[in-house]
Amino acid sequence: MPARRVAGYLAAAGAALLGLTPELAHPQECAGLPSLRERPVIVTADISGGKDAWSLGAGLTAGRAAFVGVYVDRATYQNVGFAATTADARSTDIGAAAGYEFRLGPLGLCPVASGQWETGPDGSFAGNQLDSDGWTVGAGMSAGGVLVRTAGLRIIPSASVTFQRVSSTVHDFPFINTDSHAHDTGWLVGLGVGVAVGALTLEPSVTIPSGLEGGVTTFSLSVNVGVGR
């Protein structure tokens, strides 16, 4: 992914954190999925990709009107710029979110707060080791509802807007035992369509960044299975 220049060589960590910042799945109609009022636990697996970056993840969300969720994913970043060279870097992301679904006629409306810790991206660049990590915190609103309902099938479009603050740190750079830091804020706009058949929902989606330097549009496909009654 193109390196983002923040205070010189902060490109690697900053661009990676902004390149794949997955929105935590919060399975309600406001997120394009069947409401937790029907099945109080949702297990999710997803794949996401953008320009020179992709990730595989899994998550678990539980609740009814109020809900909480956790997820973990493994991300790979290609062509990261660091120490005057480019190479691939990888990270592990751990996140959580909490929200509440309000009913507004046929629509579900969800305010959501989320946080993510990224242990990376880390990699080797011509003998130089990139060691970085960072936080992403966000708050936003999503809305969605059942557009088509037939016997055993539902089509559930959704949209979301999230404000995020991203903080990244590169360790031992530019000197050993010194750290370099970068921060950024901006918005993410998400669009998705859930196709639900019984307890199974497939949801393709796209996330578009605005104001986040180095951010790229991300496409995702999630598989969601509802558990319980």
CA–CA separation, 199 vs 55, rounded Å? 25
Q: How far is the first Cα of the chain from the last one, in angstroms, to the nearest whole number?
A: 43
pLDDT for the residue 177: 87
177 within some domain: yes
DSSP 37: T
CB 189 within 8 A of CB 210: yes
CB 31 within 8 A of CB 207: no
94 within some domain: yes
Q: Please give the tally of structural domains in the chain.
A: 1
28 within some domain: yes
Mean pLDDT of all residues in 42-61: 92
2 within some domain: no
Structural domain boundaries, residue 46: 11-227
Instruction: Report the chain's mean pLDDT, rounded to a whole number.
Output: 85
Q: Which residue has the higher pLDDT, 217 or 82?
A: 217
pTM of the model: 0.86
- Angle 221-66-105 from CA coordinates, rounded to 5°: 80
- Angle 110-97-60 from CA coordinates, rounded to 5°: 105
6 within some domain: no
- On the question of pLDDT at 187 being above 80, the answer is yes
52 within some domain: yes
CATH code (residue 22): 2.40.160
State pLDDT tens for residues 124-164: 988 888 899 989 999 999 999 999 999 889 999 999 999 99
